[in-house]
Amino acid sequence: MELKIIKIGGNVIENETALEAFITDFAAVKGPKILVHGGGKLATQLAEKIGIETTMVEGRRITDAETLKVITMVYGGFANKNIVAKLQGNGCNAIGLSGADGNAIQAIKRPVKTIDYGYVGDVTGISEQTIDALLKSGLTPVFCAITHDGNGQLFNTNADTIAATIAVGMSNIYNTALYYCFEKNGVMKDINNEDSVIEHINTENYPTLLAEKIVTEGMIPKLYNAFEALKQNVKKVCIGNTKMIVENSQQKHTTITL
Amino acid sequence: MELKIIKIGGNVIENETALEAFITDFAAVKGPKILVHGGGKLATQLAEKIGIETTMVEGRRITDAETLKVITMVYGGFANKNIVAKLQGNGCNAIGLSGADGNAIQAIKRPVKTIDYGYVGDVTGISEQTIDALLKSGLTPVFCAITHDGNGQLFNTNADTIAATIAVGMSNIYNTALYYCFEKNGVMKDINNEDSVIEHINTENYPTLLAEKIVTEGMIPKLYNAFEALKQNVKKVCIGNTKMIVENSQQKHTTITL
């Protein structure tokens, strides 16, 4: 059986209309499924309101104790519980989780090389049996991007990585498909033309896309993660906007396979 | 089999030392168990920080949209996820939930009589099969005091009531025992003497305690709830400080039976 792991980012979470539309589409997705969400700017906004400065280094948030508290409140509380309540309102029996819940996602504090990211976790594993028990009970897990170390410490964690790790882990039990929803229609030949979606990327055409600089900076780590997931038994990775998850959707998107 | 439903209040949540001690004791409790927690003053403190006024009427918070957001962040996020992470650190496979998660606790908006409490829910039912599926998977549910209406709306809800409703609902499957942990050692003959705990209250001696005004104002609704739970098949209700949950504890407390 196919298990879909669908990740949405800040662009969906932050925009009420976009979120409502996504919730309807996600609830209608057939078969077992897992949602992973980031929290976008909401955490930064709350941090500002209560006077906590957000420090970013190389695009990554430095998570001190106060920032972690804000993240736990905003991602683990506000965003997660509202998504779950809205899914319930659409007939999807969702259950909101952090990585600490059911020991679902384990992590270690990111080792300090040149930068100490603070309470940022690097994922080490998932509890696929527990996640599967939830799925088999008819529940749809909804994960926020928070993990734990098993010793009482929560971590801020990259949502893309969490989604990929869940897909890889669950591929021991299911055929897994990983969907990265973002603000673009997919990987595009021409970044200014939303119709120029490259529909298929695989290990054969990828080197050419790289060499011709069609795959640009920001997309390289996403595709790196995609190929890593595929090498670890994920069947396919799709990148595009949220409409690609709708059954029989004509929405163009990029499908990545080995 | 006995299922223990243990409720802790603000006095435990707000105090880091008290919380750590409770976590150790709770993790060591044998057999299936469920934790229900309030959030105490933490929500009020955050509301103040971000400039939301807290309106209390007759000891109850009026929950407007902004206050509900704060409650969802603080109870559903910060308090719930930290308790879960700490329990995991003590070898207890906890899973944090609101009433929306798994549709575990349904409620309706409290009807407006003279006061509109805003987004406050009166509990209408629980999903005992879903909660039991979690217990049977070896998980320990940890509930914050948030419910939902099944149509996407979250509600602030009294934690005592949630604990009682869970105990009543789960008594279809288990022998249930309900533990209300609070700052006193139990129901006391003399409120100024912590040694004067009344160890047993039942339908026989309760009218006398009421008539002699030994059971005082704040305790009357607690005991009313306790007797209502007992009438609906909960086997016993215990009121006292958190140490009463420790196996073979010598901690005096009040046990209420029919």
- CA-nearest residue to A137 within chain B is B133
Of A93, A130, A153, the CB nearest to B102: A93
Query: How many domains does chain A contain in total?
Result: 1
Task: Tell me chain B's radius of gyration from C-alpha atoms.
Answer: 18
Top residue of A35, A67, A101 to mutate, by most chain B CBs within 10 Å, is: A101
User: Quick check: A91 pLDDT over 80?
Assistant: yes
Q: How many residues in total does chain A contain? A: 258
Determine the Cα–Cα distance for residues A224 and A173; give it in Å rounded to an integer: 24
pLDDT at A45: 86
User: Quick check: B214 pLDDT over 70?
Assistant: yes
pLDDT at A60: 67
Chain segment B130-156, per-residue pLDDT in tens: 999 999 999 999 999 999 999 999 999
> Which range of residues forms the domain containing residue A47?
2-256
Say which residue, A11 or B58, is predicted with more confidence: A11
Please compute the mean of the pLDDT values over residues B246-257 and round it to a whole number: 94
User: Quick check: A111 pLDDT over 90?
Assistant: yes
Task: Specify the range with the lowest mean pLDDT, choosing from A76-80, A163-167, A246-250.
Answer: A246-250
pLDDT at B60: 67
Chain segment B155-208, per-residue pLDDT in tens: 999 999 999 999 999 999 999 999 999 888 999 998 888 889 999 999 999 999
**How are beta strands B121-126 and A105-109 bridged, if at all?**
unpaired
Top residue of A95, A130, A131 to mutate, by most chain B CBs within 10 Å, is: A95
With a pLDDT cut of 90, the percent of chain B lying above it is 76
Chain segment A122-147, per-residue pLDDT in tens: 999 999 999 999 999 999 999 999 99
Determine the Cα–Cα distance for residues B88 and A203; give it in Å rounded to an integer: 41
pLDDT at B56: 78
Element at A85 (helix H, strand E): helix A80-89
Of A77, A134, A150, the CB nearest to B88: A150
CATH number, domain of A98, equals 3.40.1160.10
